[in-house]
Structure 1
Amino acid sequence: MRHRPTTIFSLLAVAGLVLTAFFGGLAGTLPGANIQARHGSSGSVVVNGIVAGAREQPARFVDKTGQVRLELSLRELIGELEARGTPTDNAALFARRDQSSTLLTEAGITLQLPDGRILPVFAVPSSGFHLQPDSWVALGVGFLSLIGGLWVLVLRPRELTAQLFAISGASLWAASLTIALVIQSSIATPGWGMQYLLQANHISALVFGWALVSIFGVYPLPIVSRTAVGLLAVFLIGLGLAGLFDAWADVFGIQVIALIAIVALTFVLVLVQAWKSRKDPVHRASVAWVGTALLLSAGLFTAVNFIPILMGSPPLVGDAIAMTAFLLFYFALAIAITRYRMFDLGNWTVHVVRAVIVLLLILVADMALVYWAGEQWTLSFAVLLVALAWMPVRGRLMRLAERRRDRDNMRLIRGANQVAFAIQPSEQTAHWRDALAAQFDPLEISGTRTEVAEIRDDGRILAIPSPLGGDALALSYAGKGSRLFDSNDLEMAKAIHRLVEEMIAARRAYDQGVREERTRIARDLHDDVGARLLTGLHMADQRLRPTLQAAMSDIRAIVSGMTGEQVSLERLLSEVRHETARRLEAAEIHLDWPISEEDDDERLLDYRQNKAITSAFREVVSNVIRHARATSMTVRITAGGDRLQALVLDNGDGMPEAALAGETQGFGLRNLRRRLVDVGGRIDIQSSSGGTEIRLSMPLGLATAPSTSEQGVTGPKGDLSWTA
């Protein structure tokens, strides 16, 4: 069965279909009677469309000689029989049905009704296959329940829940076959056949009730022992056999009470299951779904069928129609047992409850209108009344839902924007994780592998691939463990993934356009401005030549930065040292900056790092020349590990206390600070009357904007450290 489930299911389904067709054919060929009796209002019986009298009034079968051959109550003219008396009374009831079926085969038999009518009565032999609509409904419900149970059993043959479910489906199918035969029966049907049909129906109902209560004793959590399940089976089988042998008075009534007790016990077990499953979203969703379906179907079936029978009234609807309620519950239970789309059961439960509330409003309004208007109003007025009361409320609820959806969409767009426009890849990864956490509020996030967004483990996990090309993420338990992931979450995950991908692609296209425009500007600077500066350099005197050379060096650095060209650390320090020496020499300040013997050819810097180092030394040299009144400056460079360390000392007068306190920082110093912080660097200044010591530090790897804790912040501005 596990290896070829489709084949096994097909064979069993065909066998069930053949048996259903056989019993349907048997029901369709039962003889009928020329008179039709049914339950009327206020305890009356309607014969051939006319009220003949109360149910217990007598009707007499008279032969052509005028002799009364049989007397029975009007209730017994109806095809359905209820064996509610003592064993002797029940035997007499079925004996009278045997007599009526025999009398209908005789010629000249008439039926005298309490209203005075005398009707000829005779059997109508079946002219081919013919079934009443209720019989078709009963057979259809039974066959669907049978194949539903077989399919669950084939899928999970070793699970006790699936086995019990298959038993319940088979018992519901057997009950439907008997119901179809009872519906087709009439006073022309022999009593012995009716007796066994009714008892088979009662036994099937008891087996169905036992399977149902046993399912909720073990599903989704085992709360009842298998011994208790077995003992209940023995009790109900004994009760069914007692009815089969008519062991005591009103066995049928006791069986109905037992079935109602089973329904009540089932509700109790569902409540216990709900309490036991309150901390597990999967089991909680299953119990909520099945419990709602059970409440609707069993409650409706009990209200329209069992309760009227116990009160001595006919069922409000036929057994076949009432069985459709159990069919709905039956397939709801099949969905839960097979764990089909378990993650959506919560949403489905809400939709079902909402639909039932609307239907109940319509029903209540219709009953109220019938009561107030004396049965002169139709359902259309009830629908209108419910529409007037419900539609405004529904519109309000829809607007609230739309606002919640708008908030979700705004959160989605905000998160996608942060991911797509983060500067560094590490920031993008962190923002992607934060966006998913904000959107779904999972209990846990871990790495996984997947190519597409998918729901796993019955809704416990939502796996989402990364739009950044990294590892996928697995989100566990939505709403901090309060619910499962459902189809709406899956669609939201696909939407945010698609949105981030599109925004990243748009950003790349924008960056490509920016790079192309920068390349064009860099080319113009190099070809036009650079050429003019080179011409001026050849024409300039000795005082102007250094300025033009510095301008050309700046343009070269700007062009390199705009085109993404990197420069080696060795070359950069050589140029900065040469420029510093030239400027200090013009100011008659001695420079002590030995040439480094380290090989720095492999250390490449981007434009921001290049500009930060160049600007830092230019600003420091400018301050020494303008304010320090120094006669010498010492520079020591260390490029070990992944950071560049620069120490600059002068023998000047030192910096004013206001500057050290951050109260009179000039634009140059603020700009220097900003550039260093932008590439993850820092500046520390110590000054006294004997001179100033400046320490510059900057990472040599990929430039990143450091956090506050990485910047050594102790000064008043939050990003400079000052000590005197």
Structure 2
Amino acid sequence: MFSLRARIVAGLLAVAAYGLLALAVALSLPQGAVPQGPLSFQQDGERLRAGDGQGGALTMEPFTVTAFEVAGQRLPASPWLAVEEPDVLPDYAAMERLFRDHQRLYQALRDGTLTVLGDGGQRLPVTALERGLTDLPALFWLQLLCGLAGMVICLLVWIPGQREVAIHAFALTGLSYVLFSSAAAIYSTRALFIPGDLFALLSGLNHVGALLFSASLGAFLWNYPRRAPSTVLTAAFYGAFLVAVVIDQGRWTASPVSGFHLWVMGIFLVGLAGAGWQWWRTRGQPMERAALRWVVISIVAGTAFFAGGMILPAITQSAQPASQGLLFTTFLLMYSGMALGVVRYRLFDLERWWFSLWAWLLGGLLVMLTDLVLAMLLSLSGPATLSLSLALVGWCYFPLRQYVWGKLFARREPGLDAWLARALPAMLRARHERLDDSGVEDALRAVFRPLSLDREPVNREPGSRTGAACALADNGAALRVPDPAGDRLHVLRHSQEGTRLFTRQDVDIAGLVLALHELVNQSQTARAEGASEERNRIRQDIHDDLGAKLLHLLHASDEEYRPLVRDAIRDLRDLLQNMEGRSVGLDAAATQWREETGRRCEDHGVELRWHQTLPAVTLDADQYSELTRIVREAVSNALRHARSSILEVSLTSEQDRIVIVIVNDGLQESGQGAGGRGLMIMANRARKLGGECQYGSEGDRWRVRLHAPLVRYSS
């Protein structure tokens, strides 16, 4: 198969070839010329007027044409000869008569036997004059380029899109749009003279395109964003299209109203009912309903003007239809809305490159139209008009367009400095406040500000890869980010508080957040290794110097001071063990606490009641050191500041947290209170562990309760 780029290029070349074909047909139509210069014709109420083809630059005054002399025969000059759209005539018979009269005029012009008769006695022989590019009116270019632009937009949806009914139907609207707009561009801007058979062919092509447009639009509305309830319904739209074409081209009814206009309007209204069905089906689905709302608004905005200005007046015969060529341009509103919907709601699951290419094409069209309008408004010489129009476009149009675009559509995506300024503080704050947290979730919240962030377990299947990558989900409504621990996924929904969808750029940013987490881990690991080396050096110095002196002091001291020296040696041993940075099992730590507390209670004549139910977990050096000091301080307060007879210590766990409760009696006799410096130190140590230390009196008993996390997160 061909690559995506090759298919897009082939599609664009096909559209360009069709445009050149339409241009060649338009240039093949001659215009009439009299000895004074080119001759133009226009409908003026119930009269056919003829005048100078150059807008009055020559001396010939406009006059009313009463008849044409064709090969010696007189042909009445009906004003309908210059009608822009033949299907506004009252019946098919009038249309056929119009085509036959045009065939006679065209043949006489080519044979050199055509004469124009005026109401003032004018008798002007008319000769054929070939048209050049500059002779084609602006309305021709406008209709042709709008149709080609619509076809390009639909191609860029259809080629990379999924093979679904809605995609095919939308692509067919673009094909039908270019068919009826290009056909009308040729015959509606003719210089009166056109072969009758070509006129009939182009008019039929216009009808086929309009009917196909209504049928495809109806099929699209019934299949987007949800599939139609039955494939028969979709087939019915194209069946109605075929029936309408047969009735219209076979002239099975009396007038175009019943054979064409009513079919176009009826098929469109049935299709529009599909929007109501889709609205009901998408209840509870905010993303699908938002996309549907955008689609319906775009379609109504693009078709309402044509239906109100052309179809309805032709059906009711109550008013003169508006200029068909100008109304055709309003269909671009629909395709423009679809283009913006691709950016905002990712309609058809297309990427932003599609919108960029479309914006480039339509942007060039707008520049050309702006130049064309300025050239028409400026009554200067050719070079002066061109220079002034280019200056106005460069100095006024482009800055104004960029300003409006920036205000309405441009996205201000955060750069590297912006998301880094959000992610890094949030990650570090989370790791500091919650020891078991990687901080990735807080960083993702800070960067993307999602409406919701959920955790999903990672389903491991046999043979599957252990790693996972960041990825979009639900057509950009969600972003899935693997946690560094590898056991869960963070699922973010509705970026920037629901104002936009996630994009490929967000996937890259999420990957950078994970890379930032890895960098923070490496930084902290390096810092820990450096601190460990420094602690080992200091520990060795203390052990060699202070330890030796304390041992010497122990042997040289009197018997009454030796217990104090032994306590100092024990504290030094605990300090050196903490500086060594070795982890300790919780059971082993509890055993040490019990032995030390029991020895101290025995020295003070206090009964110790010890209870423990602990899980098999490991404390790191910091946790062990802080918990040891808290227990030691609480026991010291009970033994020094109260006349306690019983000391109760309870060690349990609750939801991965250790709970230590120390209770002593004798409070009323001693006046033990909560304002001591030791209590404040215990509370600070508990907060350092991410826990809390509570204390207070219960009758004549004093109670200290500590709870802190058991597991510290480590990558």
Change (3 A) 1:581 1:208: closer
Change (3 A) 1:116 1:424: farther
Change (3 A) 1:29 1:681: closer
Contact 2:228 2:234 in 1 (8 A): no
Aligned to 1:441, which of 438, 451, 456?
A: 451
Change (3 A) 1:658 1:76: farther
Structure 1 position 606, deviation (Å):
3.1
Where does residue 294 of structure 2 map in the other structure?
Answer: 289
SS of 1:421's equivalent in the other structure is helix
Structure 1 position 293, deviation (Å):
2.4
Where does residue 92 of structure 1 map in the other structure?
Answer: 97
Where does residue 720 of structure 1 map in the other structure?
Answer: none
Aligned to 2:207, which of 199, 202, 209?
A: 202
Contact 2:42 2:50 in 1 (8 A): yes
SS of 1:91's equivalent in the other structure is helix
Where does residue 325 of structure 2 map in the other structure?
Answer: 317
Structure 2 distance, partners of 1:91, 1:700, is: 92
Change (3 A) 1:165 1:5: farther
SS of 1:556's equivalent in the other structure is helix
Q: Which amino acid aligns with 2:449?
A: Q
Contact 1:175 1:200 in 2 (8 A): yes
Structure 1 position 209, deviation (Å):
1.0
Aligned to 1:193, which of 198, 209, 233?
A: 198
The C-alpha deviation readout for 1:106-139, integer Å capped at 9, x for no partner, is: 34644345577665422346899x9888369638
Where does residue 25 of structure 2 map in the other structure?
Answer: 27
The C-alpha deviation readout for 1:633-663, integer Å capped at 9, x for no partner, is: 999999999989999999xxx3326857xx4
Contact 1:461 1:477 in 2 (8 A): yes
Larger mean CA deviation between 618-627 and 208-217 belongs to 618-627
The C-alpha deviation readout for 1:199-245, integer Å capped at 9, x for no partner, is: 23212211221221232123323567655655555555444334324
Contact 2:144 2:185 in 1 (8 A): yes
Question: Which ranges in structure 1 are unaligned for 5 or more consecutive residues?
Answer: 371-377, 595-600, 705-724
Structure 1 distance, partners of 2:479, 2:196, is: 62
Q: Which amino acid aligns with 1:447?
A: P
SS of 1:97's equivalent in the other structure is helix
Structure 1 position 477, deviation (Å):
6.5
Structure 2 distance, partners of 1:72, 1:250, is: 23
Contact 2:279 2:289 in 1 (8 A): yes
Change (3 A) 1:313 1:608: closer
Where does residue 474 of structure 2 map in the other structure?
Answer: 457
Aligned to 2:573, which of 556, 572, 581?
A: 556
The C-alpha deviation readout for 1:279-322, integer Å capped at 9, x for no partner, is: 21342133133223213322354466557876335616358756
Contact 1:453 1:464 in 2 (8 A): yes
SS of 1:462's equivalent in the other structure is strand
Where does residue 217 of structure 1 map in the other structure?
Answer: 222
SS of 1:628's equivalent in the other structure is coil
Change (3 A) 1:478 1:635: closer
Q: Which amino acid aligns with 2:30?
A: G
Contact 2:148 2:178 in 1 (8 A): yes
Structure 2 distance, partners of 1:334, 1:407, is: 26
Structure 1 position 84, deviation (Å):
0.6
The C-alpha deviation readout for 1:144-164, integer Å capped at 9, x for no partner, is: 73894697389655x443454
CA-atom RMSD in angstroms: 6.5
| Aligned length in residues | 659
The C-alpha deviation readout for 1:665-716, integer Å capped at 9, x for no partner, is: 5444565576578777989999999xx9999999996479xxxxxxxxxxxx
Change (3 A) 1:453 1:579: closer
SS of 2:111's equivalent in the other structure is coil
TM-score (norm 2): 0.67
TM-score (norm 1): 0.66
Where does residue 624 of structure 2 map in the other structure?
Answer: 609
Structure 2 distance, partners of 1:155, 1:566, is: 58
Structure 1 distance, partners of 2:619, 2:344, is: 62
Structure 1 position 100, deviation (Å):
0.8
The C-alpha deviation readout for 1:436-484, integer Å capped at 9, x for no partner, is: 8993122854234874432113234320122555532234567999996
Change (3 A) 1:454 1:28: same
Q: Does 1:111 align with 2:116?
A: yes
Structure 1 position 27, deviation (Å):
1.5
Question: Which ranges in structure 2 are unaligned for 5 or more consecutive residues?
Answer: 378-388, 460-466, 610-615
Change (3 A) 1:45 1:274: farther
The C-alpha deviation readout for 1:551-593, integer Å capped at 9, x for no partner, is: 23323322332331346876996798589759976xxx66899
Structure 2 distance, partners of 1:70, 1:84, is: 19
Where does residue 635 of structure 2 map in the other structure?
Answer: 620
Contact 1:27 1:131 in 2 (8 A): no
Where does residue 158 of structure 2 map in the other structure?
Answer: 152
Change (3 A) 1:240 1:578: closer
Change (3 A) 1:49 1:447: farther
Aligned to 1:655, which of 655, 660, 667?
A: 667
Contact 2:583 2:620 in 1 (8 A): yes
Where does residue 303 of structure 2 map in the other structure?
Answer: 298
Aligned to 1:416, which of 399, 416, 427?
A: 427
SS of 1:472's equivalent in the other structure is strand
SS of 2:479's equivalent in the other structure is strand
Q: Which amino acid aligns with 2:28?
A: L
Structure 1 distance, partners of 2:4, 2:217, is: 26
Contact 2:583 2:618 in 1 (8 A): no
Structure 1 distance, partners of 2:12, 2:351, is: 33
Structure 2 distance, partners of 1:447, 1:173, is: 51
Where do 1:137-148 residues align within 5 Å?
138=144, 141=147, 145=151, 148=154
How high is the sequence identity, in percent, across the aligned residues?
Answer: 17
Contact 2:300 2:334 in 1 (8 A): no
SS of 2:480's equivalent in the other structure is strand
Structure 2 distance, partners of 1:280, 1:238, is: 37
Structure 2 distance, partners of 1:455, 1:443, is: 14
Where does residue 385 of structure 2 map in the other structure?
Answer: none
Where do 1:466-481 residues align within 5 Å?
466-467=483-484, 470-475=487-492
Contact 2:423 2:447 in 1 (8 A): no
Contact 2:144 2:182 in 1 (8 A): yes
SS of 1:122's equivalent in the other structure is strand
Where does residue 711 of structure 1 map in the other structure?
Answer: none
Rg comparison, structure with higher value: 1
Q: Which amino acid aligns with 1:416?
A: M
Q: Which amino acid aligns with 1:60?
A: F
Structure 2 distance, partners of 1:602, 1:208, is: 71
SS of 1:463's equivalent in the other structure is strand
Change (3 A) 1:622 1:315: closer
SS of 2:325's equivalent in the other structure is coil
Where does residue 721 of structure 1 map in the other structure?
Answer: none
Structure 2 distance, partners of 1:629, 1:31, is: 117
Q: Which amino acid aligns with 1:219?
A: Y
Structure 2 distance, partners of 1:637, 1:498, is: 43
